Structure 1
Amino acid sequence: MTSEQPRPSAPSAWVRESNLLWYHRWIIKVLRAGPIPQHVAFIMDGNRRFARKENIDKAEGHAKGFDKLSETLQWCHDIGIREVTVYAFSIENFKRSQKEVDTLMSLARDKFRRLHEERDKLHERGICIRIIGNMSLLPVDIQKIMAEAVLLTKDNKKSFLNVAFSYTSRDEITHSIRTVAEGVLEGKLHEDDIDEEVLNGCMYTRDCSEPDLLVRTSGEVRLSDFLLWQSSSTVIYFTKTLWPEFNIWQLFSAVFYYQRCHWQVSSIRNALEEVSEEFEDVTAAKSSSQRNKKDERVRKFLNDVERKDRENLIKLTSAITLK
C-alpha cells in the first residue's frame, strides 16, 4: 500500500466506511471552498481491458469494476456529492457474447442480493436506490430483486444512487414518447399539452436531477447513448484510466475541473431558464381557464404514469422465480 492511496476496505459491500487519510480530507476541505457538484454520473468503462491487461478472466474484471463502484460511492459521500448515476449495463451490451452477458447478469444478481443484506446501512445513510432503464429486457428474477431494492429504499432522501441498467438514451426517449402518445390516444392528454415538462415526466429519470458532472473512464471520448436528454449543460470529464484503476485523485481532478467550468455552466443554465421563462410568458396569453385545465390534465396524467410504474414494481416483487 502506498501512502498516496486510501487504506483498503472490505470489498463487495455497497456501503463502506470512509477510508480516507488526513491529506485526502484536507484536499476535500479545499475543494469545498468552491462549488461541489451535487449530481455526478459515471460511465464505468474499461473492465474488459483491465482484465486483458492483468491477464485475468473477464468475470473477475467486471467484479473488480463493482468493487471500484462501491469505493467511489464512498468517496462521493465523503466529498459531499448527494446524487450519483452509474452506467452499469447498456442495452447494447446484450450484443456481447452470451457467456459474458450471463456473467454480467450473474454479477448483478449477486450484488443486488447483497444490497438487500445491507438494508440497515442503506437506511442509516438515507440512501435511495433507483433503477433507470428498460427492466422488461432483464431476467424476471433480476427484475424482482431490483424492484425490491427500489421499494425498500424509496422513502430515503439523504442521497441517491441511480443505476442505469438495460439503458440507452434512445430507448428512454422512445419510451417517453410512446407513453405520451398513449396518453393522447386514451384522451388523458391533448396534443397541445405535449411539451418538455410532459416528456421529462415520462423519462426513466423523472425523479432524478440533471447531472452537474459526467465522468467517463478508459480514454473513450463519447457518451455511448448515456443521459443525452439530461446532459445539455453537464460538465464532461474524460480520463484515460481504466475503471477498476480509478482512484480518489482522479475524482478530485474531475471535481476541480467542474469547478473551473462552473461559471460557464451556470451561464448556460441561466440562459436556458430565461428561454423557458420567455416561453411561459408567451403561453400566459392564453386564458387562465385554459391554462388551469391543461395543468390539471398534465398533473393527473403524470401522477397516473408514476402510479402505474409503482404498481409494476410491486407486481414484480411478487413474481415467482426459479433462481
Structure 2
Amino acid sequence: MTWLVEKNRSWAEWAVARILGVGPVPRHLAVIMDGNRRYARKEHQDILTGHTRGFHKLTEVLSWCRDLGINEVTAYVFSIENFKRPKQEVDGLMDLAVEKFAELLEEKDKLAKHGVRIRVLGNVTLLPERVQRWVAEAVLTTKDNDKCFLNLALAYTSREEIGTAMGELCRGVSEGQLQASDISEELLEKCLYTRGMRDPDLLIRTSGEVRLSDFLLWQSGFSCLFFAKVLWPELTIWHLFGAIFYYQRHYHTLTEARRESLNVRQCMVEESDIDVCHAKFGEKVTAEHIAAQTSSRTERIDAFLQDLSERRINYLKEICK
C-alpha cells in the first residue's frame, strides 16, 4: 500500500474541482477520522480491519488534496485518550503504525520528489519504543522537504499540548532564558507542537459527531468546521467538494475575524513593552526605550525558540541511535 496514491479522476470530478478552484481553496485541511470502528461493525469485520481501511482512506484524501491544491493536511490519528481502549486494539494500532511508517520510509525518494514533509504532533514519549523509532526516522528523513506537509497527530490532545507549552515557558523563565513579561499568546503559540504551521483553514469531522474531541482547540479558533455524517472509510471526494464549498461561503467572515484577532494580539504585545518601560523608567519613557525593550525581548524569544527546536530535534536523533 503506497502513501502517495496516483488516481485518475472522472470528468465530472475534474469539472467540479476546476469550478471550486475559481474561489478560495483551503491551504490547510485538518481531519478527525471518526467512524473506523463503527464501519468495521457495520461490515461485520474486526476492529483493526476498520482502522486499516481508515488509513487507506487517508491516502485517498491526500491524493484528492494534491489535485485540489491543498498542500497541508493534519490528521487526528491517535488521541492520548485512545490508550484507554482495550489492550488488543491499542497493540494492533501500534503495530499498524509501525507497518505504515515502514512503508512510508520505503517511499522516501518519492516523498523527496514531491517535497512531502512528515510532522508528528503529540507526546511521542507515550508511544512504545518501536513506534517512537519509526516516528523519529520519518520526521528526520523528511524534515528538509517543503512543498507539501502531512501532520500526524499521534498520542495527542490539545490539553496536553497547551500544558506542555506552558511547561516550556516556565522552564524558560526559571532558567533565565525569558522574562515573565515576555510571555504572550504569540509566544505560547510558538511553543505548541504546531509551531511554524499554518492554522487549519478547514476542519472536517466524519461520522456525524459534532465535537472536536480535544483536537487543535487552540489552532482552530478561526477555522471553518464541517461535520459530515458519513463514516470515515466511506468518505468520497464529493464530500470533500461539499466541505470546500461550505468553506468558500464562510471564507470572508473567517478571514476578517482572524485579521481582527491578530491586530488585537499585536496591540497587546506593544502595550506590554510600554508597561515594562514605564516600570523601569517611570514617566521618562522615550521611543528609544521602547525600541530597546522590543529588541531585547525579540532576541530573548528567538534564542529561546531556537533552543526549544534543537531540544526537540536532538530528542528525535537520540531515539534513532
| TM-score of the pair, normalised by structure 1 | 0.93
RMSD: 1.0
Task: Say yes or no: does 1:64 pair with 2:67.
Answer: no
Is 1:219 the counterpart of 2:208? The answer is yes
Partner residue in 1 for 2:255 = 266
Q: Deviations over 1:209-254 (max 9, x none)?
A: 1000000000000000000010110000000100000000000000
CA offsets, 1:6-53, max 9 Å, x none? xxxxxx211111321122111111000000000000000000000000
- Partner residue in 1 for 2:241: 252
Q: Quick check: which one's helix share is greater? A: 2
Preserved contact between residue 65 and residue 244 of structure 1 (Cα < 8 Å): yes
Which residue is 2:112 aligned to? 123
Does 1:161 find its partner at 2:161? no
Q: Which residue of 1 aligns with 2:38?
A: 49
Give the aligned length. Answer: 307
2:286 paired with 1:297: no
Q: Residue 284 of structure 1: CA displacement?
A: 5.4
Structure-2 residue corresponding to 1:315: 318
For residues 127-186 of structure 1, what are the alpha-carbon distances to aligned partners after superposition, in whole Å with 9 as ceiling and x for unaligned? 000000000000111111111101111111111000000000000000000111011111
CA distance in 2, matches of 1:79, 1:61: 27
Unaligned runs of 5+ in 2: 278-288
Query: In 1, distance between residues paired with 2:58 and 2:295?
Result: 45
Q: Are the counterparts in 1 of residues 184 and 269 from structure 2 also a CA contact under 8 Å?
A: no
- Residue pair 1:235, 1:258 contacting (<8 A) in 2 also: yes
Amino acid in structure 2 at the alignment position of 1:53 = K
Please name the residue that 1:16 is paired with.
5
Aligned to 1:209: 198
Do the aligned partners of 1:211 and 1:230 also contact (CA within 8 Å) in 2?
A: yes
**Runs of 4+ with deviation above 6 angstroms:** none
The answer to whether the Cα contact below 8 Å between 1:18 and 1:78 also exists between their aligned partners in 2 is: no
| In structure 1, C-alpha distance between the alignment counterparts of 2:7 and 2:190, rounded to whole Å | 36
Q: What TM-score results when the alignment is normalised by the length of structure 2?
A: 0.94
Aligned identity (percent) is 49
Distance in 1 between residues matched to 2:119 and 2:189, nearest whole Å: 16
Deviation string, structure 1 residues 251-271 (Cα, Å, up to 9, x no partner)? 000011000010110121121
Letter in 2 for 1:80: G
Residue 187 of structure 1: SS of its match in structure 2?
A: coil
